[in-house]
Structure 1
Amino acid sequence: MLLLKCQLASDMGCLRTNNEDMILFNGGLYRDERYEQKFELAPQARFTAFVADGMGGHEGGEFASELATQAFDRFITDLPSGLSHETLSCEIKNWVDETHALIVNKGLELPQYEGMGTTFIGMFSYEGRVYMMNIGDSRLYRYRSGILKQLSADHSMRELTGDESAPSNMIYNSLGAGTSAFADFIELTGQLLDEDLFLLCSDGLSDMLTDDQIEELLQYTPTAVHLIEAAKAAGGRDNISVVLLQVTEQTDEAEVV
């Protein structure tokens, strides 16, 4: 049985006065918190690990990231058993459309939230399979045998156009902002190896540290807290949220989900 060890942490950073990020992990929502858990992933269990980076002013970003994480938690809990990959993909698309509309409509109802939106990056399991899902420019990395690889694609204008002068935080895809949203939805099941380490993060980490710096930190101090402290030492210009998931086939004292 697969054993996952999770560490998560979310921090306001050095310059912001509030935290617009939100972490969803196995039904719990985390902001300005630290948490650790290890658990055995039973074949029919469902786990969730997501980072949402909200945008839209002092209150809007907080609200958008909370709406998205709450909505996905309800979605994965209520999802029927026995769906094929194709049907699950359709359900994910419907969830993206509905959640995008939810956030847009909340912004129209409440003027202080108009224009709010959020990124959404993470991993989840369903029927013994593991998937990744990405909306925006928050990132999923895999650290394997000393090498860090970005698995997600940034939905940013810099990535789209190849223009390195474009602001790194100018994105063309998010939940709530723009006319529509889409998700990259990819199965990872066959790609999981013993001792793989997966990193989910908001751009408060990836804008402050290069991939080489993150790789070095994971080699010597692979903890969520050390990553956040390094980003803050580099300037900490934005909120910083990190989830680390380590895969191992060895089981010890752990919760079963």
Structure 2
Amino acid sequence: MLKIDQDFAGRQIPGDRPYQEDAQGFASLVENSESEVEVLLVVLADGMGGENAGDHASSSVVLRFVEFCHEFESTDRMTMQQMLLCAMNTANNGLAADIETDPMLEGMGTTILAAVVSQDSLYWLSVGDSPLYLYRDGCLEQLNEDHSMMPLLERQVEDGFLHESQLATHPERNVLRAALTGEEITLVDCPQEGFRLLPGDVVIVASDGIQTLDEEQILDCIEKNLTLTADEITRELIEAVKAAAKPRQDNASINVIRIPN
């Protein structure tokens, strides 16, 4: 079982943006006490469309997603994958309804990354470019797919059509290939089987604002603070993003889940 703050915590900053378009929430789907969680759901959405629309899209999707999953216990015929997919579709349909009610919201959208830790398994659903990292035995790995243009550009580098030096400044590197907009969702990463977690693993659910740090910096920050609580590790990662002082720093949201030994 996970303990809040000790094994799970989340923080966020606006960065250099005048508004916060990230939204995040969590829910205890099976709970033994106020501080102990048996099945944890973490949902993070990175909105787009400006101050009002982006904020509305992300907060609306997180709220609807969490509300749907809260009812999961009464629909135990669903698999975890089915629950996550149905929650996503419910949230996306909600965006469509919001746009129909208020045409000023036309053009809004959001990425979504949802992770469920149940016993020794990790399940996830992602649309967009928010990374899901796993730290294990001194290594950091991104588990979910990246639905930005970056993987396609990296493939062009491998095939010799683009020089590696062009990646960092390529105008399309952050363009999304998929998002929740109230319309058809073209790319979804949601494995059918759970990923086996081991004692000592650290799972990070973050918006792409964390990628101000490269993976070596994220790894170094985790390893230096591995004996601390999840809340303290989250704080250290946020402080590292701040310390990088990147011009026009994006909103950054970081959630850390430690699997107890």
The TM-score with structure 2 as length reference comes to 0.79
Specify which structure has the higher proportion of strand.
1
> 2:133 matched to which residue of 1?
141
Report if aligned partners of 1:3, 1:248 keep a CA contact under 8 Å in 2.
Answer: no
Quick check: 1:195 aligned with 2:200? yes
Report the Cα distance in structure 2 between the residues aligned to 1:145 and 1:127, rounded to whole angstroms. Answer: 20
> 2:260 matched to which residue of 1?
248
> 2:65 matched to which residue of 1?
72
Quick check: 1:21 aligned with 2:22? yes
Report the Cα distance in structure 1 between the residues aligned to 2:61 and 2:216, rounded to whole angstroms. Answer: 31
Report if aligned partners of 1:224, 1:242 keep a CA contact under 8 Å in 2.
Answer: yes
Quick check: 1:221 aligned with 2:192? no
- Kindly report which structure 2 residues correspond to 1:103-142, keeping only aligned pairs within 5 A, or say none: 103-125=95-117, 130-142=122-134
Which runs of structure 1 show a deviation greater than 6 angstroms over 4 or more consecutive aligned residues?
Answer: none
> 2:216 matched to which residue of 1?
212
Q: What root-mean-square deviation, in Å, do the aligned CA atoms of Structure 1 and Structure 2 show?
A: 2.6
Structure 2, gaps ≥5 residues long: 29-33, 157-166, 227-232
Name the amino acid aligned to 1:24.
Answer: G
Aligned pair partner of 1:231 in 222, 241, 255: 241
Report if aligned partners of 2:69, 2:87 keep a CA contact under 8 Å in 1.
Answer: no
Aligned length: 232
Residues 186, 60 of structure 1: CA spacing in aligned structure 2 closer, same or farther, 3 A cutoff?
A: same
State which drifts further: 193-202 or 175-184: 175-184
> 1:99 matched to which residue of 2?
91
Shift of 1:109: 2.8
Secondary structure of 2:190's match? Answer: strand
Quick check: 1:83 aligned with 2:87? no
Name the amino acid aligned to 2:88.
Answer: V
Shift of 1:101: 2.7
> 2:43 matched to which residue of 1?
50
Report the Cα distance in structure 2 between the residues aligned to 1:232 and 1:127, rounded to whole angstroms. Answer: 34
Report if aligned partners of 1:116, 1:176 keep a CA contact under 8 Å in 2.
Answer: yes
The TM-score with structure 1 as length reference comes to 0.80
Can you list the C-alpha shifts for 1:153-190, whole angstroms capped at 9, x where unaligned?
A: 11112224535335332111111166434431126745
Can you list the C-alpha shifts for 1:74-128, whole angstroms capped at 9, x where unaligned?
A: 111112343253xx53443333333223213323432332111111113125698
Report the Cα distance in structure 2 between the residues aligned to 1:227 and 1:240, rounded to whole angstroms. Answer: 10
Name the amino acid aligned to 1:202.
Answer: S
Structure 1, gaps ≥5 residues long: 28-37, 250-257
Secondary structure of 1:68's match? Answer: helix
Report if aligned partners of 1:201, 1:241 keep a CA contact under 8 Å in 2.
Answer: yes
Shift of 1:55: 0.7
Can you list the C-alpha shifts for 1:118-165, whole angstroms capped at 9, x where unaligned?
A: 111131256985411111100100011111111011111222453533
Name the amino acid aligned to 1:49.
Answer: V
Residues 213, 187 of structure 1: CA spacing in aligned structure 2 closer, same or farther, 3 A cutoff?
A: farther
Report the Cα distance in structure 2 between the residues aligned to 1:167 and 1:230, rounded to whole angstroms. Answer: 26
Residues 132, 39 of structure 1: CA spacing in aligned structure 2 closer, same or farther, 3 A cutoff?
A: farther
Residues 147, 12 of structure 1: CA spacing in aligned structure 2 closer, same or farther, 3 A cutoff?
A: same
Can you list the C-alpha shifts for 1:214-257, whole angstroms capped at 9, x where unaligned?
A: 111111135112212221222161001000000014xxxxxxxx
Residues 190, 134 of structure 1: CA spacing in aligned structure 2 closer, same or farther, 3 A cutoff?
A: closer
Report if aligned partners of 1:136, 1:155 keep a CA contact under 8 Å in 2.
Answer: yes
Quick check: 1:171 aligned with 2:176? yes
Residues 126, 146 of structure 1: CA spacing in aligned structure 2 closer, same or farther, 3 A cutoff?
A: closer
Report the Cα distance in structure 1 between the residues aligned to 2:184 and 2:76, rounded to whole angstroms. Answer: 32
Quick check: 1:6 aligned with 2:8? yes
